[in-house]
Amino acid sequence: MFGQPEPSPEHLLDAGLEATAEAFLPRNGYRATVQFGYHCEECEEAVFPVTTRSELVWLKNRRHVVEEVSKHVSGGLDTWIVDGLDFLDKHNGHSVVVTQRR
């Protein structure tokens, strides 16, 4: 005997597409257990909009640009942007950092 044969792509599909996808995309599980948000170090308040860490950093760095754009957007912004801007507005001038929680 030569041991177990290498699993073929067909074999992986047979094993279940979802389980296979999870194995190859651990990011899905990661995002399910870790949330990112803003934390104000002065007020000890935090908000966790449903988005990624990179988007939170993007919004924080371009807050004033996004606010300006939002005035001209009729359809409204994504919820996480509204929530994020609201928090950044409320803690304007405070020490706000991007944080995470499990």
The binding site for Zn ion (CB under 5 A) comprises 40, 42-43, 91, 94
Minimum Å distance from CB 67 to Zn ion? 18
Considering the complex, what minimum distance in angstroms separates the CB of residue 93 from Zn ion?
8
Give the residue with the Cβ less far from Zn ion, 12 or 98: 98
Amino acid at 48: F
C-beta of 62 vs 94, nearer to Zn ion: 94
Q: In terms of CB distance, is 11 or 94 closer to Zn ion?
A: 94
Spell out a b/e string for 54-80, using b for 16 or more CB atoms within 10 Å of the CB, else e.
Answer: eebeebbeebeebeeeeeeeeeeeeeb
As a whole number of angstroms, the distance between CA 1 and CA 50 comes to 51
Kind and range of the H or E element at 47? strand 45-47
Residue 81 Cβ, how far from Zn ion at the closest point, in Å? Answer: 19
